[in-house]
Amino acid sequence: MKSWTIGIAGLTALALLIAGTYGSLGISLTAVIGLCAAFGFGWPHYLRVPAKKTLAVIIALSGSGGAVSAAFSTGPGYLMWLPVSTAAGIGGVFVVQLVRGTGQSHRLESTLGASAGVLVSTLAGGWIAAERFNGHTAMMLITGLSAAVALLVGLIRWPDRVIAPLAVGLAALTGPMAALLFSDVRIVPAAIIGAVVAAVLMSFRHLAGLAGPHRTQPGAIAMGLAPIAALGTLIYFIDRLLIT
């Protein structure tokens, strides 16, 4: 059941993000902030570390700050303030560990795991930057459809050595098909986007398998949201390379 929770969480977040691009920037920003908040709440549960509430607030605020900065930064450097949000979040994680005092349990796991959560959360701001850079929804739709295909393939309980190439291949085909049907984007960039998106999602699928079964529902949801958040900045830079 937890694997389906991961898939449904990822698909839901992806649908909200892509749907937001058809509205105003404020709607997209709200969707990204909601993604960061849900991920921040569940990630400490996924890690099974102490100080869950405090770490959840830090992770959520870091991602939200990165998204807000991407929404209001002047171009072309839409992500120029993203490192600041990441550094502030990681600094907050260290402060929490200092306040907890020495000799507390899972200090190293809390520090490293929560810092990774801050990084993933702030990467979600790339969705806002990608939308502002593209100026249209065609590339975002291609990205969303490719990612949805990869997520659905990832729900099949087959070994990674079978699922990974299958997902990458199908996503690489989905991108050009979506480009032909819904936009004037060239086939090669669309195929590259589909393949890269699927590769990222499959890497998180492998990570989830290595971590073992998830004991809590919030932890499973966080694992489903993690690759969607991480895709944001990656898509932004891929779009800049392929479009410019």
Tell me, what's the pLDDT at 49?
85
pLDDT at residue 243 in the model: 67
Q: Which of 198, 231, 237 is nearest to 121 (CA)?
A: 231
Q: Which residues contact 234 (CB under 8 A, 6 or more apart)?
A: 123, 126, 196, 197, 200
Which range has highest mean pLDDT (35-39, 94-98, 99-103)? 35-39
228 burial (CB, 10 Å; 0-12 / 13-18 / 19+) is: buried
pTM for the structure as a whole: 0.90
How many residues can be counted in the chain? 244
pLDDT tens profile 109-162: 889 999 999 999 999 999 999 988 876 677 888 899 999 999 999 888 888 889
CA atoms within 13 A on the CB side of 138: 18
Residue 79 has pLDDT above 80, yes or no: yes
Q: Is 103 exposed, middle or buried (0-12, 13-18, 19+ CB in 10 A)?
A: exposed
Decide if pLDDT at 16 tops 80: yes
Please compute the mean of the pLDDT values over residues 97-102 and round it to a whole number: 77
Confidence grade of residue 38 (pLDDT, cut at 50, 70, 90): very high
- Are 67 and 29 in contact by the 8 Å Cβ rule? The answer is yes
| pLDDT of 183 above 80 | no
Phi and psi at 37, nearest 5°, equal: -65, -45
Is residue 189 very low, low, confident or very high in pLDDT (cuts 50, 70, 90)?
Answer: confident
List, for residues 203-223, the tens digit of each pLDDT value: 988 887 766 666 688 998 999
Question: 144 with 155: CB under 8 angstroms?
Answer: no
Q: Which residues contact 122 (CB under 8 A, 6 or more apart)?
A: 62, 63, 65, 66, 82, 85, 86, 89
pLDDT of residue 197: 93
Q: Indicate if the pLDDT at residue 105 is higher than 70.
A: no
Residue 89 pLDDT greater than 60, yes or no: yes
